[in-house]
Structure 1
Amino acid sequence: MSCDADDCFVEAAVEEPNLKFKDEKQQARFELGVSMMVYKWGALEVAVANNWGGPASAEKRDWITAIVLDLFKDGKYVDAAMIEETLLYAMIDEFDTNVEDESAMPISVGIIEIYKQCQLQDYSAVEELYNSWLEKQNSAETSQSKAVVVEEDPLNPGVSSSEESGDEEDEQEPAEDADVEMTDSRSNQPVVDEDGFELVQKKGRR
């Protein structure tokens, strides 16, 4: 189900005070869908990632989700233009960012479409959005985990390991030579001349 930006709206029945779903599952799925659409908005994602709204940027994104939901909880009529306006003003107020790429409208249309699907108790789109978000989160966590491993390891583990082993060998070899020289010097008896002085012997020959 899809609608045009100029003709994309939902309206409560005459007897209903607002657009909030009475069924808890419907309302919960709709709220999840709105949250996923807001998280999907690229302009907001960049703003949060760069902390344009300060240390509480992530919390401000959740607040934007809440004020979009309030449109449905408080009103009997909501269209895509109202949602777009809400998103754009929130970006200016909370992130000091004026979004001019018209990216808010597809998000707004998507929210209206999700509402209509939830009316029909069709939650497939919401579940698809949620699963995509989970995959993205898992991918990000995996990348961060790999980055930590790289930071802990040397820049070039192979070369580093060989260098370390080489250093160890270099340190061990002189010690072995020293042992040999010490053994040779111990095994050779000192030579004393007739005046009682010890003669210096040449090393390296046996």
Structure 2
Amino acid sequence: MVPAGSGCRRECSASVPSHHHSHLRIYMASSSPPQSSVFFARGVIARLAYWPALRIAVDQGWGGPESAEKRTWLASVLVDDFEEQIPKPDLDYVEDRLLQVMADEFDTNLEDGSAEAVAKDVIRLWEEVSVGKTELLKEFEERADKLKGKKVDVEEAAGDNSDWEDMSDEEDEEDEVPQLSERPRPPKEEPEVDEDGFTTVKGKGKNHR
């Protein structure tokens, strides 16, 4: 399940062993997975689908030709984490997982706080579907459906006052020459030369030769 050339292969091997998915497929083939697991997987896929940072990375192909597959793989990793780990992953763990995959798979270092927001939503989703609630799942899927087929707006995705946007602005300011505002100057008067060859200079007071 780890994409070819994945930078996360070594670091994630402990939590996502290579033989895990074969066991998961056997389990799913022999019996239907719990309904809560299906809901959770659907919700995670939907939540990642409208995460602006990941949408940009996939749309721009920052993860290579398999960018879309890597997004699906990330969803499966998160689902496996919650299905297998005891105790369940906390906020820091999920956020670190998201940041790690974005860095390793998409060469993107996020400082906009969006990974934390996604992590909070994933944890809320797990808590709700575990007790049979599907309101959050429906919300995520509705939001994801609205964005299907739409190109991502980089400026909108970055968000207002985000660190990502601020960093870009600072870099642009360093590259650009400051534009200074100056008061308008009166036109320069050319000196007048009389018939005798003397130059007349106009001043505020008298004329001088």
* TM-score for both structures, normalised by structure 2: 0.54
Are 2:78 and 1:44 equivalent residues in the alignment? no
Contact 2:36 2:130 in 1 (8 A): yes
Q: State the 1:74 CA deviation.
A: 2.1
Q: State the 1:25 CA deviation.
A: 1.3
Identify the match of residue 97 of structure 1 among 91, 108, 116.
Answer: 108
Contact 2:47 2:144 in 1 (8 A): no
User: Counterpart in 2 of 1:86?
Assistant: 97
1:106, 1:135 → 2: CA distance? 20
- Residue correspondence of structure 1 range 52-131 to structure 2 within 5 A: 52-77=62-87, 78-131=89-142
1:46, 1:23 → 2: CA distance? 32
Letter in 1 for 2:130: Q
Q: State the 1:135 CA deviation.
A: 2.5
Q: Give me the identity figure in percent.
A: 31
Secondary structure of the structure 2 residue equivalent to 1:51? coil
Q: State the 1:131 CA deviation.
A: 2.0
Gapped runs of 5+ residues in structure 1? 1-21, 142-206
Letter in 2 for 1:94: E
User: Counterpart in 1 of 2:162?
Assistant: none
1:41, 1:82 → 2: CA distance? 18
Q: CA RMSD in A?
A: 1.8
Letter in 1 for 2:132: Q
Q: State the 1:23 CA deviation.
A: 6.2
Deviations 1:52-90 (A, max 9, x none): 011110001111111111211220121011000001010
Q: Which runs of 4+ in 1 moved over 3 A?
A: none
Gapped runs of 5+ residues in structure 2? 1-31, 152-209
2:34, 2:83 → 1: CA distance? 13
1:23–1:56 CA distance, 2 compared to 1 (3 A): closer
Contact 2:50 2:147 in 1 (8 A): no
Secondary structure of the structure 2 residue equivalent to 1:88? helix
**Between Structure 1 and Structure 2, how many residues are aligned?**
119
1:91, 1:54 → 2: CA distance? 13
Letter in 1 for 2:114: S
User: Counterpart in 1 of 2:26?
Assistant: none
Q: 128-137 vs 117-126, which deviates more?
A: 128-137
2:140, 2:147 → 1: CA distance? 11
User: Counterpart in 1 of 2:44?
Assistant: 34
1:23, 1:94 → 2: CA distance? 29
1:98, 1:120 → 2: CA distance? 35
Letter in 1 for 2:67: S
Contact 2:48 2:75 in 1 (8 A): yes
Q: State the 1:40 CA deviation.
A: 2.3
User: Counterpart in 2 of 1:24?
Assistant: 34
